[in-house]
Amino acid sequence: MCQMNVVLEHDGEQEKIMENVTHLAVTNEGVLVSTFFEEPKLVKSAWVKNIDFLSGTVTLDNKVLDHD
């Protein structure tokens, strides 16, 4: 079974959001992450920046992107 760690990157720093994540869903409000034994957590206004399958880490960001 492959469980991921989810971190939020902000100003070059990484904050651990949740470990052993079993489900991740991108919604209109942000990214919803959950595990087997914890309540789901919504990371508001976040988007998936990177997924590193080897290290088992999903990096989120909530910085507004400039689409010019």
Question: For residue 66, what pLDDT is reported?
Answer: 60
CA torsion, ordered 41, 2, 37, 16, to nearest 10 deg? -40
Question: For residue 2, what pLDDT is reported?
Answer: 73
Closest CA to 44 of 26, 65, 21: 26
CA dist 21 → 11, 59, 67 (Å): 24, 12, 30
Beta bridge partners of 55: none
Q: What is the pLDDT along the chain (68 residues), one digit of tens a residue?
A: 578 999 999 888 999 999 999 999 999 999 999 999 999 999 999 999 999 999 999 999 987 666 55
